[in-house]
Structure 1
Amino acid sequence: MDHDTDPRLPLEATLYQVKKTIVGQDGLLERMLVALLARGHLLVEGVPGLAKTMAIKALAQAIGGRFQRIQFTSDLVPADVVGTRIYNQRAGEFQVALGPVFTNLLLADEINRAPAKVQSALLEVMQERQVTIGRDTYPAPDPFLVMATQNPIESEGTYPLPEAQLDRFMFKVLVGYPTPTQEYVVVERQTTAQEAPEPVIDVETLIGYQRGADAVYVDPQIIEYAVRLSTATRDPASVGSSDLARYVTFGASPRASINMVLGAKALAFLRGRDYALPGDVRELARDVLRHRVVLSYEALADDVSPDDVLGPILSAVPLPELDPGLGTPGRGASARRP
């Protein structure tokens, strides 16, 4: 890949702008960029005060597209999200007022506080990238990405997301506490004047990068590896983890295999490659799979988390060994490497 067209340069500059505000959270920031490139939606889970909302807002500022935030509450109705028809008395006709989902980057803050009707309304626009109001259908802007946050510790007044909606998120990222050093920098920054992120790329540039990620070559063995990982969550005994079968009620859907491959292409593009590696799939697998595995009551009783199930499965499924001469059709990977 030519240095002049290396996609990492403006994307690294985007990360630099975000890191003016956000300390640490490198994994979250990288997943946010991968989701942007792969046109996927992102669910972020962590306790309050870990800068989940701030990270998403800072990324929106660095991209320069339209940004909307919806604070989800129990009294929210679908019209508050997608819009509604309003009668204009002067004109004597109904007019459509589009909701905040008509944006490039939508922050759904504390999404699990919204009732089922609101979650269903958001589900349509996430999956179909369109909204139906009355008899008319309105397409969502391009690009359109939902980044949602949820708080794992407060169960009162929350509505757990149904599996169908969880499956629409490409990644579920868990955000942990910062290290003492990182927390020192956080306090230092928050108690002094902050430098706001500056736009680095625009929407048209982002769309071009998305097309670049689409063109990344994926070897069939990598696709087969992603499928084996998804299949292993449905039948852990097939990879020698029969002791885990009692903890899994339903495994990951085929959408998990699709998203592992799409995510691997975006991650390869982000790292300056025009071909994906098995390690790209392996690196993203937990974030793609953890919210798609439905655990049994026995797992809940034994305090077993999805990551506890995924760890042995990822270890049991071997990485494929690709021929180093394989790469983009007509161009070997060895020919592209210096």
Structure 2
Amino acid sequence: MTVTVRAPAKINLHLGVGAPRADGFHPLVTVYQAVGLCDDVTAESSPGWLLDVTVPDWMDADAVPVTGDNLVDRAARLLAGHHGIDALASVSVAKAIPVAGGMAGGSADAAAALVALDRLWQLHTSDDDLLALAARLGSDVPFALLGGTALGTGRGELVEPVPDQATWWWVAVPSGEGLSTPAVYRRFDDLTPDAPAEPEGAGAVLLALSTGDPEILAGALHNDLEAAALDLRPDLGDLLELGERCGALRGLVSGSGPTCVFLAESADAARGVAGRLAEHHEVVLVTNGPVAGAHVVTYG
């Protein structure tokens, strides 16, 4: 039997970050949007455990661990342990989401693996249990299961769907050099020692989404981690300015970076922005959202 599951990248339309909690995590208020840059995870029956990852030419294959420390390995062990079985499968990951790029590619792979292995092993895990397992794997993994547009709270793992009837067009520019999420949070702490215990709310973005107007959404986009990411990587600030000069309504660091995303007025406008950015950057991706979360694309 073979099962292939597709899971999307995410963009944080709003990312409010509070001061670190006693457990070391930062409280978040975020609005996630799933976009059509997706990884595919294929699971097949096997007498042992095997994981293989393939990446496009523009990605660094060495940046993806395949020696037991991948989130897919952890997802398999967690799901198998939940049901008291051995994790036996051959799994391949075909990546299209930038690695270490602030778009939750690893979380997407973990969510896809949970769904694929649940189907392969015929476990029929409840949605509530899958979400609980996902939350143990990482803050963004529950959203990768859910998809669409959603409000995230806690450390981002508590997700609630948000009505979003529009189609939003984005241009994404990955970086050839990754940016450590823990390093960005540490820099955030250095730059904002007086950060509030409760992060800034997402009311402006939620209102903008309800209008369906990309210009209004552009004005509401917000990322508390952007200043820290730009402090560590000043070149990203230059890229944001370039994207807006190329016609984007707004540029934003995606999550903790270093991928930068640009909101465009329409599909045609996104292609125009991408074409102009491609004169300066080797890899420029056009995508839209919201799209579905982790879902089966082949089964049999």
Q: TM above 0.5, one fold?
A: no
- Greater percentage in helix: 1
Between the two structures, name the one with larger relative contact order (CA 8 Å, sep ≥ 6): 2
Greater radius of gyration (CA): 1
With the length of structure 1 as denominator, give the TM-score of the two structures.
0.28
With the length of structure 2 as denominator, give the TM-score of the two structures.
0.31
